[in-house]
């Protein structure tokens, strides 16, 4: 337990144990991005998965829309301390996209329109843990929230859920992404409060 | 890599920037120093062990073991009303940091700098203004500072004093001083064209404020031809802090 701040009462909001350590609940949807919001026209949008031996799998927007989608309702946790419960999305499970990909790579570097990158072990993208999301709360995903499509990987801090996602490079060796090279934790498990390098 | 530790921070001084924003000067034994633009996590713990954390931008460059924050009181907030109205000289909180390696300015930067602040988004940008002055940097700075009305400004006295190489332009969205030629209104292309740098100068731009403001300012900079890779943003929303 930390030192006590004289006179601090605080609010204890019931969250049924769904709030990771150091997080607080919000009801709006804050935006955090390192730069301007890219605008990506759908007729030029594409998503790619590049394997470690240089094979490329590619989906256009039309291809993506033809794939079976899911409607996950998940809690999201931002490293800047806010958490939002029961967020409703629609998107394609990465399991569907990875079906036709042959790879033994253990690491993924996710990259976005605008140049953002973030890394995760491949296993964190599979088995129902990650989606390519294009609708939020019943509407098309707004550009400032990552539209037309963003990654959704809710079991790690939300910076891993890359906005404006463009593709995934599969790698034999881990390669840290944008925030991971700027002092943030390489993995980012909110339940172990892995915010910063060394946590 | 060692974990960033929580450190005890004792309030040494404080001053009001306007009727809802208070600057806290904290003494933090063992503080490792920081860069202009970085932020810290603040942790408050109640007597029964309940604790909560928030992030706050640092308002001034590193000065030994002193860390300066400016906190805007958010009505109904859990943490900011405590920091603004309850915390007294000698009281202690905990802080962890510095955090953030992207939204930073270093005095060896040669490119001209444009700072675009919306409301309390001025705080990390003021750390850059002060860092430049302290380092005797000749890097030309322009600050475009948008607030609701003149009374909402922070650091007004300090920004009024001459600081060669720093140009300050105010944009008021709701009410303007008497004789002010620009009518009140949100940030426009003309404001950025007049108060900023031409894109050909390849400035480094730092934009900080509420989400809507940052979205707009960054979009306008792009439409003026600025390289998106040189526009750094930091956004915050009304998150009940």
Q: Are the CB atoms for A50 and B92 separated by under 8 Å?
A: no
State the Cα–Cα distance between residues B202 and B97, nearest whole angstrom.
31
CA B140 to chain centre: 18
Please judge whether A32 and B235 are an interchain contact, meaning their C-beta atoms are less than 8 angstroms apart.
Answer: yes
pTM score, two decimals? 0.93
Distance from CA of B210 to the nearest CA of A (A): 9
Distance from CA of B64 to the nearest CA of A (A): 22
Cβ–Cβ pairs < 8 A, chains A and B: 122
Nearest by CB to A22, which of B46, B53, B237?
A: B53
* Sign of the dihedral through C-alpha A129, A134, A139, A144: positive
The per-residue pLDDT for A28 is: 82
State the Cα–Cα distance between residues B131 and B112, nearest whole angstrom.
15
Residue A170 is encoded by which pair of tokens? 């599969």
Whole-number Cα distances in Å, A9 to A18, A61, A80, B46, B49: 22, 51, 22, 5, 10
The per-residue pLDDT for B235 is: 84
State the Cα–Cα distance between residues A188 and A185, nearest whole angstrom.
5
Q: Which residues of A touch B80 (CB under 8 A)?
A: none
Bridge partners (DSSP) listed for residue B231: B205
pLDDT reading at B161 higher than 70: yes
Q: Where are the domains of chain B?
A: 7-99, 113-236
The per-residue pLDDT for B240 is: 35
* Cα nearest neighbour of A37 on chain B: B215
The per-residue pLDDT for B110 is: 86
Q: Where are the domains of chain A?
A: 24-30+39-192
* Cα nearest neighbour of B239 on chain A: A26
Q: Which residues of B touch A36 (CB under 8 A)?
A: 218-219, 221-222, 228, 231, 233
State the Cα–Cα distance between residues B241 and B237, nearest whole angstrom.
9
Strand duo A46-50 + A24-25: pairing: unpaired
* Cα nearest neighbour of A6 on chain B: B91
Which H/E stretch holds residue B80? helix B80-81
pLDDT reading at B237 higher than 80: no
What is the tens place of the pLDDT at every residue in B90-103? 999 999 999 988 99
What is the tens place of the pLDDT at every residue in B111-155? 999 999 999 999 999 999 999 999 999 999 999 999 999 999 999
pLDDT reading at A145 higher than 90: yes
Closest CA relative to residue A188, chosen from A77, A82, A74: A77
Distance from CA of A193 to the nearest CA of B (A): 11
Q: Are the CB atoms for A33 and A144 separated by under 8 Å?
A: yes
Distance from CA of B106 to the nearest CA of A (A): 15
Share of residues in chain A with pLDDT > 70 (%): 98
The per-residue pLDDT for B239 is: 39
* Cα nearest neighbour of B232 on chain A: A35
The per-residue pLDDT for B241 is: 36
Share of residues in chain B with pLDDT > 70 (%): 98
pLDDT reading at A43 higher than 80: yes
Task: Report H helices in A30-167.
Answer: 61-66, 94-98
CATH of domain A24-30+39-192: 3.90.420.10
Bridge partners (DSSP) listed for residue B168: B143
Tell whether domain B113-236 is in CATH 3.40.50.80: yes
Per-residue pLDDT band at A15 (split at 50, 70, 90): low
Distance from CA of A123 to the nearest CA of B (A): 25
Distance from CA of A96 to the nearest CA of B (A): 33
Closest CA relative to residue B88, chosen from B33, B148, B165, B22: B22
Q: Mean pLDDT of all residues in chain B?
A: 94
Nearest by CB to B45, which of A3, A115, A181?
A: A3
Please judge whether B218 and A35 are an interchain contact, meaning their C-beta atoms are less than 8 angstroms apart.
Answer: yes
Neighbouring C-beta atoms of residue B228, cutoff 10 Å: 15
Q: B174, exposed or middle or buried, with CB in 10 Å at 0-12, 13-18, 19+? A: exposed
pLDDT reading at A106 higher than 70: yes
DSSP label at residue B82: I
State the Cα–Cα distance between residues B188 and B67, nearest whole angstrom.
35
The per-residue pLDDT for A32 is: 79
Residue A62, phi-psi category: left (phi > 0), alpha (psi -120 to 50), beta (remainder): alpha
Taking residues A25-51, report their average pLDDT.
91
pLDDT reading at A131 higher than 70: yes
The per-residue pLDDT for B21 is: 96
What is the tens place of the pLDDT at every residue in B11-65? 999 999 999 999 999 999 999 999 999 999 999 999 999 999 999 999 999 999 9
Q: In sequence order, which residues have a C-beta less than 8 Å from that of residue B87 and are 6 or more positions away?
A: A5, A7, B11, B14, B24, B93
The per-residue pLDDT for A1 is: 63
Architecture per CATH, B7-99: Beta Barrel (2.40)
Share of residues in chain A with pLDDT > 90 (%): 87
Please judge whether A80 and B6 are an interchain contact, meaning their C-beta atoms are less than 8 angstroms apart.
Answer: no
pLDDT reading at B83 higher than 70: yes
Q: Which residues of B touch A22 (CB under 8 A)?
A: 43, 52-53
Q: Which residues of A touch B88 (CB under 8 A)?
A: 6
Mutation choice for B interface testing from A1, A2, A26, A143 by most B CBs within 10 A: A2
């Amino acid at each position: 337990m930390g030192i006590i701040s004289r006179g601090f009462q605080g609010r204890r909001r019931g969250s049924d144990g769904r709030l990771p350590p150091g997080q607080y609940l919000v009801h709006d949807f804050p935006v955090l991005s390192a730069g301007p919001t890219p605008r990506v026209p759908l007729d030029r949008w594409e998503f790619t998965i590049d394997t470690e031996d240089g094979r490329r799998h590619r989906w256009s927007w039309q291809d993506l829309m033809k794939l079976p989608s899911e409607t996950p309702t998940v809690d999201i946790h931002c490293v800047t301390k806010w958490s939002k419960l029961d967020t409703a999305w629609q998107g394609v499970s990465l399991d569907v996209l990875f079906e036709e990909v042959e790879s033994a790579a253990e690491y993924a570097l996710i990259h976005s329109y605008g140049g953002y990158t973030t890394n995760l072990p491949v296993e964190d993208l599979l088995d129902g843990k990650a989606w390519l999301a294009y609708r939020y709360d019943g509407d098309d995903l707004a550009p400032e929230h990552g539209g037309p499509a963003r990654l959704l990987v809710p079991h790690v801090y939300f910076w891993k859920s890359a906005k404006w996602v463009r593709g995934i490079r599969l790698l034999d060796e881990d390669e840290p992404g944008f925030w991971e090279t700027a002092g943030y934790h390489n993995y980012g498990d909110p339940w172990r409060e892995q915010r910063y390098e060394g946590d | 890599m060692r974990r960033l530790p929580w450190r005890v921070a004792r309030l040494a001084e404080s001053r009001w920037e306007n009727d809802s924003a208070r600057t806290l000067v904290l003494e933090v034994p063992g503080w490792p120093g920081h860069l202009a633009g970085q932020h810290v996590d603040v942790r408050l713990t109640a007597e029964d062990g309940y604790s909560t954390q928030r992030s706050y931008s640092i308002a001034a460059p590193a000065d030994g073991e002193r860390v300066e924050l400016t906190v805007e009181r958010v009505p109904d907030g859990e943490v900011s009303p405590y920091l603004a109205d309850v915390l007294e000289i000698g009281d202690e909180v905990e802080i962890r940091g510095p955090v953030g390696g992207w939204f930073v300015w270093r005095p060896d930067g040669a490119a001209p700098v444009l700072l675009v602040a919306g409301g309390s988004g001025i705080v990390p940008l003021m750390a850059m203004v002060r860092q430049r002055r302290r380092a005797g940097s000749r890097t030309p700075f322009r600050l475009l500072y948008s607030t609701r009305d003149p009374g909402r400004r922070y650091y007004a006295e300090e920004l009024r004093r001459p600081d060669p190489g720093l140009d300050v332009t105010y944009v008021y969205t709701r009410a303007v001083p008497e004789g002010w030629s620009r009518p009140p209104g949100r940030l426009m292309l003309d404001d950025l064209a007049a108060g900023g740098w031409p894109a050909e100068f390849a400035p480094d731009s730092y934009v900080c404020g509420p989400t809507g403001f940052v979205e707009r300012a960054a979009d306008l900079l792009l439409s003026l031809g600025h390289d998106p890779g040189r526009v750094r943003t930091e956004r915050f929303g009304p998150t009940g802090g």
